[in-house]
Amino acid sequence: MRHVDGIHDVGGMHGFGHVQELTDAPPFAEPWEGKAFVIGALAARISGTNLHAFRHAIERVPPQEYLVGYWNRWTIGAQTLMEDSGIITDAEVRARAARLSGQDVPEPPRPEPHKPQMASGGAGNLRTLDTQPAFAVGDRVRVADHGAVGHTRLPGYVRGRTGTVAALQPCQVFPDTAAHFAGENPQHCYTVDFDSRELWGSDAEPFRLSLELFEPYLEPAR
Amino acid sequence: MTSAPEHLDPALRVEALASLLAERGLVDEATVETFIKTYEQSVGPMNGAKVVAKAWTDPDYRARLLADGTAAIAELGFKGPQGEHIVVLENTPAVHHVVVCTLCSCYPWPVLGLPPSWYKDPAYRARVVREPRRVLSEFGLDLGDEVEIRVHDSSSEVRYMVLPERPAGTEGATQEELAALVTRDAMVGVAKVASP
């Protein structure tokens, strides 16, 4: 059985149709997209959270809004992060939007900030670990088949599948706990290779799929 | 389950957010302008193109780039957000690498800037991990059956950049001339660099 936790976990999903055309379009098609980018880029700092919490906020955007487009889900994610920390409320945003559109609506009260408190091991997400990695290059590993409730960087399409450790990557902050302010909990991180037929069946196009998996996602293959 | 709140026009939502945050002293107009200008003018695929052109003309640099992408890229002054650990993948006549982020849209900002629309679109993210040959063909890149395809899903803070094959007919070209040929799409692995 394939677990899918949210609309964001699209790897392997059918029904999206033709890929978009390759173009040399600039990063922001319209001025508001540039502003949206900056608000999202600063949202974690403003809300006293982190990159993982921002990704999780985007993952919580309702599917119908998520699919409207990238800068829409990015902006709603940024707003959610700031709502969660008591920086802003949705009512305030809607009232301000109405006022900017010329409607004379009252401004709701400001919330009381309540930023999460989580110790940080420094800038960025790379960390060092004293523990030895459980797996080595060449080891066969099976991916846990857990149905994650919160944030995870374990895509649904590799759950329960067996692959081979191809490389050890730098140890990193564990997104699954950091996104919920339950600690950086750094983990060993592995590049794992999968044969396309292990993922998609014997009729699949032949190719090799690689991705990074954190140690708690993995168990030795029997 | 409660129903989703009414859709707000995204441009208007951004305007409302920017206005509230400015009032609170949390985001000011100058910061916004600086950020936008940076990613419109200084951080983009022209950085990655310089890395590629140098790797094509300097074998020692190419070796360093493939051994430790982050450090070799930093030699040219490129580093910053979304570039903590960059791995460079070399495309050859036998092996073709292509990069995606299925869970969001992770992308190596210091060398490629912000991701293009097609990279962030669910169609690319969903399909390139399932039928890469067909997806590449839709983009106009038809690879022979003898070419091994390797797809990289950016699921951690590791970021990937493709070192494309140097095109024929560029033997005497300078690094600057070569850099002008290198495209963003080739450094993600959905295109090849065309001969001049």
For B95, list phi and psi in degrees, rounded to 5: -130, 130
* Nearest-angstrom CA–CA distance, A151 and B35: 28
Output the domain CATH number for residue B59: 3.90.330.10
Say whether pLDDT at B98 is over 50. Answer: yes
Q: Nearest residue of A to residue B2 by CA position?
A: A62
CA separation for the pair A60, A54 (Å, rounded): 10
Tell whether B67 and B51 lie within a shared domain.
Answer: yes
Instruction: Find the DSSP H helices in B28-147.
Output: 29-37, 45-57, 59-67, 69-75, 109-112, 117-120, 122-127, 132-138
What percent of chain B stands above pLDDT 70? 98
Q: How confident is the model at residue B173 (pLDDT cuts 50, 70, 90)?
A: very high
Residues of chain B contacting residue A205, judged by C-beta atoms under 8 Å apart: 131-134, 149
Contact flag A18-B40 (C-beta cutoff 8 Å): no
Distance separating alpha carbons of residues A217 and A159, to the nearest angstrom: 9
Specify the pLDDT at position A6. 86
Let me know how long chain B is.
196
Asked if residue B120 and residue B26 are part of one domain, the reply reads no
A45 exposure class (CB count in 10 Å sphere: 0-12, 13-18, 19+): exposed
How high is the pLDDT of residue A145? Answer: 85
Based on the domain organization, do B37 and B47 belong to the same domain?
Answer: no
How do residues B99-118 score in pLDDT, each as one tens digit? 999 999 999 999 999 999 99
CA distance A162 to chain B (A): 16
Question: Are B78 and B134 found together in one domain?
Answer: yes
Note the ipTM here: 0.96
B149: its two tokens: 């395809």
Same domain, B28 and B84: no
Asked whether residue B1 is domain-assigned, the answer is no
In chain B, residues with a C-beta closer than 8 Å to the C-beta of A22 are 116, 118, 139-140, 185, 190-191
Distance between CA atoms of residues B142 and B133, nearest Å:
8
Contact criterion met (CB below 8 Å) for A179 and A53: yes
Q: Is residue B50 part of a domain?
A: yes
Which residues lie closer than 8 Å to A137 by C-beta, 6 or more apart? A165, A166, A167, A168
Instruction: Give how many domains chain B has, as a whole number.
Output: 2
B126:A46 CB<8 A? no
Residues 6+ apart with CB under 8 A from A166: A137, A190, A191, A192, A193, A210
Residue B2 included in any domain: no
Model pLDDT for residues B142-160, shown as the tens digit of each residue: 999 999 999 999 999 999 9
Question: Containing H/E element for B138?
Answer: helix B132-138
| Cross-chain residue pair B156–A69, CB shorter than 8 Å | no
- Same domain (yes/no): B63, B139: yes
State the sign of the Cα–Cα–Cα–Cα dihedral B9, B10, B16, B20.
positive
Return the pLDDT at B4: 64
pLDDT value of position A24? 86
**Residue range(s) defining the domain that contains residue B49:** 43-188
Annotated active-site residue in B104, B137, B155, B195: B104
Task: Tell whether B148 and B86 lie within a shared domain.
Answer: yes
- Phi-psi domain of A123 (left: phi exceeds 0; alpha: psi -120 through 50; beta: other): beta
Instruction: Supply the pLDDT for residue A3.
Output: 43
What is the model's pLDDT at position A222? 79
Together in a domain, B116 and B180: yes
Report whether pLDDT(B181) > 90. yes
- Residue B58 lies inside a defined structural domain of this protein: yes
One domain, residues B56 and B13: no
Stretch B51-72: mean pLDDT, rounded?
Answer: 98
pLDDT score, position B176 = 97
Establish whether B137 is a catalytic residue.
no
State both tokens at B63. Answer: 């070796």
* The model scores a pTM over 0.80: yes
- CA dist B193 and B156 (Å) reads 28
Q: Which of these, B50, B97, B88, lies nearest to B191 by C-alpha position?
A: B97
CB contact under 8 A, A16 and B40: no
Decide if B194 is inside a domain. Answer: no
Q: Is the pLDDT of residue B16 over 60?
A: yes
Same structural domain for residues B18 and B104?
no
Residues B121 and B29 in one domain: no
Rounded mean pLDDT for each run of 10 residues along chain A, 222 residues in total: 70 95 92 98 97 97 95 98 98 98 97 95 95 98 84 96 98 97 97 98 98 98 88
Residues B85 and B22 in one domain: no
| CA–CA min distance A36, chain B (Å) | 6
Of the candidates A46, A65, A75, the beta carbon closest to that of B14 is on A75
What was the pLDDT predicted at A43? Answer: 98
Task: Search chain B and give the residue with CA nearest A107.
Answer: B20
Report how far apart the first and last C-alpha atoms of chain A are (Å, whole number).
19
CB pairs under 8 A between A and B: 226
Residues 6+ apart with CB under 8 A from B51: B65, B72, B73, B76, B78, B88, B111, B161
State the Cα–Cα distance between residues A38 and A27, nearest whole angstrom.
12
Residue B106 annotated to the active site? yes
Pick B129's closest partner by Cβ from A39, A41, A157: A157
- What is residue A58's predicted lDDT score, i.e. its pLDDT? 97
Residue with tokens 């794992």: A192
Which amino acid type is present at position A184? E
Amino acid letter for position B188: V
